[in-house]
Every structure is written in structure tokens, then in C-alpha cells.
A and B are shown apart, each in its own frame.
Chain A
Amino acid sequence: MLRIDFNRLRFLIIDDNAHMRRIVRTLLHGFGAREVYEAEDGASGLEAFTHYMPDIIVADWAMPIFDGLELTQMIRQPGANSNPYVPIIMLTGHSEKKRVTAARDAGVTEFMAKPISAKALYQRILNVVANPRPFIKTKNYFGPDRRRNVSSNYVGPERRKGGQADTIRQSSLIDKAKVPG
């Protein structure tokens, strides 16, 4: 059985809602985390990301100034900051398919629809720590590999040219979002 030593991880919570920040902080401390930093909007979140260099970011989507999706796009800029590969767990009240897809295409690592639960948050953190996916860089995407498994039902062309990459077998972000935590 895998166990996470949370006191070896540094977290950054980015959420404009103070109550939700307190909830997430409480859960992380409950898991055993000691280093938990907070920011209350996308702009200060980006600054905190640069300053604290967190191991994992837990970010809201709907925030003033710029939102969690824009924040993700700013972080997922190869060469623009010290760690464009940082795992980003998006914790949001949005649950529509187009939102999950947009989050995936922005480079979000894990998607978690509210209401939050300790179990769901733990599972997302365990996944990014123990089973990280490689990153894919194309002319219009940079982020975690969006192919988590091989679909036998897929009948379209192979869109990646020049080689068959290994595929990491994991549930798709959409499938995972359907499952209560």
C-alpha cells in the first residue's frame, strides 16, 4: 500500500473564497501537510507560485483578475518559469463536460468537482505524486499527456505524427469526474 509523506510536500491553495481555502487547508493539514500557502486570486497565485515553488497547486476556476484556467495556461509555458510541470488540481463548482475538457486542454493535471471530500482530494494527490504522466508539447498544447488509456472504439486517424508513444493507463479526466470521491 502506498503512503504519502505529506510533510515532505509543499502546497499552494489558490481560491478567492476564504472559506474554501480554510477547508482545503484543514484537509491538507489533516493529511499531515505542514507547508501550505494560500493566494486569493489568479494574479497573486502566480506570484505565490514563483515565490514558494510549491510541489502541488490546488486552484479554483472562478476567480477575479484572472481565473484558474488562465492561471494554468500561464504556468504551462515551457521555459517561462521554474516549474511548468507542477501538478495542478482544479477544484471547482463547474461540472459540465465542456468545462472538464477545457481544463484538460489548458493543462490541468486533475479535475475535482465540488463538493470537496477528503477521499477525493487524497486520491488526486496520490495520483499526481505516485503516477505522474509525461508531458506532451505540440505547437498548440503543452501539458500532461491527455491520453490516459487506449480506446478500442477510436476510429479516427492517429493525430500524433512520427511515432507511437507509450500510453499511461489511467481513467480519463472526464470519467474520473463522473465518479464521486
Chain B
Amino acid sequence: MAKVRPKKPSVATFGDYEMITPANELRKAVSEVADRDSDDPVARAEDALAQLSSEFSAWMDSESDRLDAVRRSIKSTGFNKTTRDALFRAAHDIKGEAATFGYPFVASSADSLCRLIEHTPEMDRIPTALVDRHVDAIRAIIREKARPDIVEIADALTTRLREVADHFLAHENRDRPDVLAGILTPPIAPSEQTV
């Protein structure tokens, strides 16, 4: 792929650091337009995403099946680095995609499972029964999305799962106060924002 190499940056040297200012090769893509310009690239992108949204339900089902498949492999082979990482990524992907796919109420359950996996110091001690409860809850919430009371059901399930998971994590990390403080610190970025 032929492309012109970037120009050399300017470098200012100070006592124990350098400040490097690369040539802004991307400035070529910026232009000034009148405020009344009606073209709205964000709206165009949102429209494009809306056209894709008919696929989201099937995508979420496949993510749910993927989570279940990893859970089953852990039941047969136990936790090892590969299966633990696969379970984490499957739950983490659901957490990240949930709102975009129209399932914002499942993100918290997936987040609770991520926390359980990430913050249990010894993977052999991750309770498979608690993993099962999380996976079953996530799958049930996805499956029952059309229920009028799904938000309340999801909230009740997640609250209980989170309580049990946090109780377990507090015990497992009782000798690691710094880790414990990090676990109990709320996230700083919004986690349930709709597109």
C-alpha cells in the first residue's frame, strides 16, 4: 500500500524530556464550512446504523450462544487461562454491545460476570455455580426482551447477582485492600448510554 511517509517532526529538547511536534498530515482533511451548512455526518452515520439495526437481534442471540458455549467448555475442561479469557471476552462483548443492540438492561449482568472473572485472584476459585447463574440470567434477559416488565426483571436479577458476586469478591480480596478499593470504585465512564 503506497503512501507518502510522514514528514520529520520538529523536536524541542528540555532537561529530561523532548517535546515532539509531528507534521499534522491529517489537517488536509479539515475544512472550514459555513455554520448554515446542512450536511450532518453524525446524522448520516446514525441513519446508516439504523439501517443495520434489523440484524442486531440475531447478533445478540449469537453473542448469547457464544457465552453459553464457553460456559459449557469450562464445565468440561475447567478454568484455565484460555477458557477464563474466552469467558471474560464473551461477557465483556455483551456488556459493550448491549445498548447498541437495543438490550441496555443486560449490560449490568454481563458487567457483574466480568467483575467476578477479573477480580477473583485465583481462577480455580471462581465458583462455577455463580458463573452459571450469571450466564443463565444474561441469556434469559436476552431471550425475554419483549416482556413488558423485562427492565424490572433484569434489574432484580442483576441486583442479586451483583450482591452475591461482590460478597464473594470482598472475601477473596480481603487481604488486598488496594485491589478491594479499586473493585468498589464506581466506573467513571457512562455504561448504559444509548446510541
User: Interface on A for B, CB 8 Å cutoff?
Assistant: 1-6, 8-10, 16-17, 19-20, 22-23, 26-32, 51-53, 55-56, 62-64, 82-83, 85, 87, 92-93, 95-98, 100, 111, 113-119, 121-122, 128-130, 132, 134-139, 145, 160-163, 165, 174, 177-181
Judged by a CB distance under 8 angstroms, whether B22 is at the interface is yes
Closest chain A residue to B56 by CB distance?
A19
Contact call A165/B19, Cβ cutoff below 8 A: yes
Q: Is the CB of A96 within 8 A of B14?
A: no
18 more CB-based (< 8 A) A-B contacts, given A3-B33, A118-B49, A121-B45: A8-B28, A9-B26, A27-B45, A29-B48, A82-B6, A85-B6, A113-B190, A114-B95, A115-B104, A115-B194, A115-B195, A118-B195, A135-B22, A136-B18, A145-B19, A161-B14, A161-B16, A174-B188
CB distance from A149 to the nearest CB of B (A): 16
Tell me the B residues contacting A by CB distance below 8 Å.
Answer: 1, 3, 5-6, 9, 12, 14-22, 24-35, 37, 39, 41-42, 44-49, 52, 59, 62-63, 85, 88-89, 92-93, 95-100, 104, 107, 114, 182, 185, 187-195
Question: Within the complex, what minimum Cβ distance (angstroms) separates B6 from chain A?
Answer: 6
Output the least CB separation between A138 and chain B (Å). 5
List 18 contacting pairs A-B, 8 Å CB cutoff, sorted by A: A1-B32, A1-B35, A2-B32, A16-B89, A20-B97, A26-B52, A31-B42, A85-B20, A93-B114, A97-B185, A97-B188, A100-B188, A115-B96, A117-B195, A121-B45, A136-B18, A138-B16, A163-B15
A122–B62 alpha-carbon span in the complex (Å): 28
A173 to chain B, nearest CB (A): 10
Bound complex: CA A178 to CA B193 (Å): 11
Distance (whole angstroms) from the CB of A131 to the closest CB of chain B: 10
User: Given that A1-B33, A136-B20 are contacting pairs, would A92 and B96 also be in contact in the complex, using a CB cutoff of 8 Å?
Assistant: yes
Q: How far is the CB of B117 from chain A (nearest CB, A)?
A: 11
Checking A19, A118, A134, A160 against B20 with a beta-carbon cut-off of 8 angstroms, the contacting residue is A134
The 4 closest A-B pairs by CB, nearest first: A162-B15, A30-B45, A113-B189, A161-B15
With A5-B30, A19-B63 known as contacts, the answer to whether A30 contacts B47 (CB < 8 A) is yes
Give the shortest distance, in Å, between A34 (CB) and chain B (any CB). Answer: 12
CB distance from B3 to the nearest CB of A (A): 5
B49 & A26 in contact (Cβ 8 Å cutoff): yes
A17 to B92, CA, bound (A): 11
Given contacts A26-B52, A128-B26, whether A115 and B16 have CB atoms under 8 Å apart is: no
Task: Tell me the minimal C-beta distance from A143 to chain B in angstroms.
Answer: 10
A115 adjacent to B193 (CB under 8 Å): yes
Chain A residues closer than 8 Å to B100, beta-carbon distance:
23, 114-116
Determine the distance from Cα of A180 to Cα of B97 in the docked complex, in whole angstroms: 16
Q: Is the CB–CB distance between B187 and A95 below 8 Å?
A: yes
A30, B103: Cα distance in complex, Å: 23
